Amino acid sequence: MVKKSKFIPVNVPKIFKQEKIYVKECLDTGWISSEGKFVKKFEKAFSNYNNRVYGIAVSSGTAALEIAVKSLNLKKGSEVIISSFTIISTALSVIRLGLKPILVDSDLQTWNMKPDEVIKKITKKTKAIIITHIYGFPVDMKKILYISKKRNIKIIEDSAEMIGQTYYEKKCGSFGDLSIFSFYANKHITTGEGGMVLTNSKKLYEKCKSLRNLCFGVGSNRFNHEDIGWNYRMTNLQAAVGCGQLKNINQIIKRKREIGNRYRSILSKCSKIYIQPRKLKYAKNIFWVFGILLKKNAAISRDKVVKMLSNYNIQTRNFFYPMHKQKIFLKMKFFKKKTKLTNAEYLSRNGFYLPSGLGLSNKEIDYVGKTLLKILKN
Ligand X SMILES: Cc1ncc(COP(=O)(O)O)c(C=O)c1O
Q: How far apart are CA 303 and CA 296, in angstroms?
A: 14
**Residue 62 touches ligand X, criterion: CB under 6 A:** yes
Three-class secondary structure of residue 8 per DSSP: strand
Scanning 59-67, 223-231, 358-366, 367-375 for contacts with ligand X by CB under 6 A, the matching segment is 59-67
**Residue 160 touches ligand X, criterion: CB under 6 A:** yes
Q: How far apart are CA 132 and CA 203, in angstroms?
A: 23
36 and 182 Cβ atoms separated by less than 8 Å: no
Pairing type for strands 154-158 and 166-167 reads unpaired
Residue 129 β-bridge partners: 81, 155
Residue whose C-beta lies closest to ligand X: 61
Considering only 36, 61, 229, 351, the residue that binds ligand X (CB under 6 A) is 61
Q: How far is the CB of 89 from ligand X (least distance, A)?
A: 5
Q: Which amino acid would we find at residue 231?
A: N
**Residue 91 touches ligand X, criterion: CB under 6 A:** no
Pairing type for strands 126-132 and 154-158 reads parallel
For ligand X, the closer CB: 155 or 376: 155
**Residue 89 touches ligand X, criterion: CB under 6 A:** yes
Q: How far apart are CA 78 and CA 126, in angstroms?
A: 6
**Residue 195 touches ligand X, criterion: CB under 6 A:** yes
Q: How far is the CB of 82 from ligand X (least distance, A)?
A: 11
Scanning 36-44, 54-62, 108-116, 237-245 for contacts with ligand X by CB under 6 A, the matching segment is 54-62
What count of other Cβ atoms lies within 10 Å of the Cβ of residue 219? 5
306 and 349 Cβ atoms separated by less than 8 Å: no
Contacts of 227 (CB under 8 A, 6+ apart): 210, 211, 215
Contacts of 226 (CB under 8 A, 6+ apart): 210, 215, 216, 217
**Residue 84 touches ligand X, criterion: CB under 6 A:** no
Pairing type for strands 79-83 and 126-132 reads parallel
For ligand X, the closer CB: 62 or 210: 62
Considering only 184, 312, 321, 335, the residue that binds ligand X (CB under 6 A) is 184
Question: Angle at Cα 164 formed by Cα 162 and Cα 166, nearest 5°?
Answer: 80
For ligand X, the closer CB: 179 or 236: 179
For ligand X, the closer CB: 192 or 330: 192
Scanning 85-93, 106-114, 163-171, 198-206 for contacts with ligand X by CB under 6 A, the matching segment is 85-93
Residues between 139 and 158 that touch ligand X (CB under 6 A): 158
DSSP state of 77: T
Considering only 93, 132, 339, 350, the residue that binds ligand X (CB under 6 A) is 132
| Number of chain positions touching ligand X (CB under 6 A) | 13
**Residue 55 touches ligand X, criterion: CB under 6 A:** no
Considering only 93, 182, 248, 356, the residue that binds ligand X (CB under 6 A) is 182
Q: Please report, as ranges, the residues that interact with ligand X according to CB under 6 A.
A: 60-62, 86-87, 89, 132, 158, 160-161, 182, 184, 195
